[in-house]
Amino acid sequence: MLMVSPKLMESIAKGSIYRLLCSVIIVWVAVFGGTSLASNDLIREVALPEALSSAQSITVDAAGRVWFSEKIGNKLAVFDPKNNKFEIFPLPSSWGDLGFSKVITGPGGDIWFSMRRGTGNVKEPNMLGRFSPEDGYFTKYALSIDAIPKDLYIGPDGEIWFLAANKNSLYRVDPVSFKVKGYSLPSENASPGGLTADAKGHIWFSDINANKIGKFVPEDEVFYEYDVPTSFSSPGEIAIDKDGRVWFVETAANRLGVFYPDRLRFDEALIPTSKSSPNSIAADKDGNIWFLEYRGNKVGVFNPTTAVFYEYDIPTYSSLPGELVIDHERSILWFTQSNTEAKSLGMLSLTDALLRNGGQELSTEKSSSKRILPVDDHSSTSFNWFIFSLIVVVIFIIVGWFKYSRGVRSS
């Protein structure tokens, strides 16, 4: 007969209890902790067709279709979220060695774009292009000046504004005659970018090298420039919120900046993720400021009312997010991923993201008062069960171990 010592039996008993407790804890973490973590996964990625390289510039039309250009190549593409289908439109071969640079949606629904030349291409003139979704035709407009269009903006009246990659000027294009008029910037070698306009029709841009934010008043043909408080901040893309405040990214300083035109003053907010390299920005209809973190690989949002940041990790590692656009009608943020390995479009529901921000305060369009959005029920319930189950497990361990110790001492 096999004899087992009391000490060995005690060790086996302890080991069994230890394994039992480990099993309970593992199940508890998987059921409750896992649910809580999964509720933060908000960004969806849409894989591009094999015929396309990674996406670069992006815009959205009135129907919610997402238009974008290739980073490498000469194709314009559109994704329709309603049927999850892509369509691809290559530039006509007769246009020569040209590719897309910036794409935007015009007032009538046409897609306008600036163009880049291929390496060593000096034959084709500098041009702007237009694509009509209704008939599928491309139209090119040769420019009468030696300026390579980069950033584009089209006003409600159809007037076209652009900045050039090789000039220190702002340009206006008449929508009827297509005549171009240039306006030299006050600061030399400013390297302007981030072109947009406010509700008054004033044109805003950033002077990257000069570390300034600029404004051009078309009716007076006058420039105004304002020094950004942080030196060497590299101001970039610009967005105007519903109250007329001018928001911009500070790529080198890792900040968001805001300029108040009525007060002629700046404020800045440091982004939580260090060295994130913010590079694209947009304001939603409620006044929240959304941005991309090129090196941080995140989508971020800043609430000006509460001065709080929230950040969302992009699933694809080092996706190098490039440009974003907001579909205000459907409350969806779309963005490109410029890493040649990524080959995806990113999508984030603004409503879902804001509901999960722990009661972030938002402005409403219906009134000037503020309201608090409740925490998403699923996330809140998961968190409550997480805490409750933790307390139960701790009590179970203490009581069980106490009874076991008393039993060992009395035996």
Q: Which two tokens stand for residue 105?
A: 């949606």
Give me the number of domains the chain comprises: 1
Print the domain residue range for 203. Answer: 54-372
CB-CB contact of 178 with 165 (8 Å)? no
In a domain, 263, yes or no: yes
Is 380 contained in some domain? no
Three-state DSSP class for residue 116:
strand
Q: Tell me, what's the pLDDT at 392?
A: 55
Would you give the DSSP letter of residue 400?
A: H
Answer whether residue 358 is part of any domain. yes
Question: In CATH, what number is assigned to the domain containing residue 194?
Answer: 2.130.10.10
- Please report the pLDDT score of residue 377 as a whole number: 32
Pairing of strands 289-293, 278-283: antiparallel
Alpha carbons 23 and 97: distance in angstroms, whole number: 64
Q: Is residue 3 part of a domain?
A: no
pLDDT 10s digit of each residue in the chain, 411 long?
444 444 444 443 444 444 444 444 433 433 333 322 323 589 999 999 999 999 999 999 999 999 999 998 899 999 999 999 999 999 998 888 888 999 999 988 999 999 887 656 566 668 899 999 999 999 999 888 888 899 999 998 899 999 998 899 999 999 888 999 999 999 999 999 999 999 999 999 999 999 999 999 999 999 999 999 999 999 999 999 999 999 999 999 999 999 999 999 999 999 999 999 999 999 999 999 999 999 999 999 999 999 999 999 999 999 999 999 999 999 999 999 999 999 999 999 999 999 887 544 444 333 222 222 222 333 333 334 445 555 655 575 676 656 656 665 555
β-pairing, 127-132 with 111-117?
antiparallel
Quote the CA–CA distance of 255 and 272 in Å, as a whole number: 9
25 found inside a domain: no
pLDDT of residue 121: 58
Is 27 part of a structural domain of the chain? no
Report yes or no on 220 lying in a domain: yes
CB 170 within 8 A of CB 202: no
pLDDT at 152 (0 to 100) = 96
Chain centroid, CA 321 distance in Å: 7
The answer to the question of residue 63 being in a domain is: yes
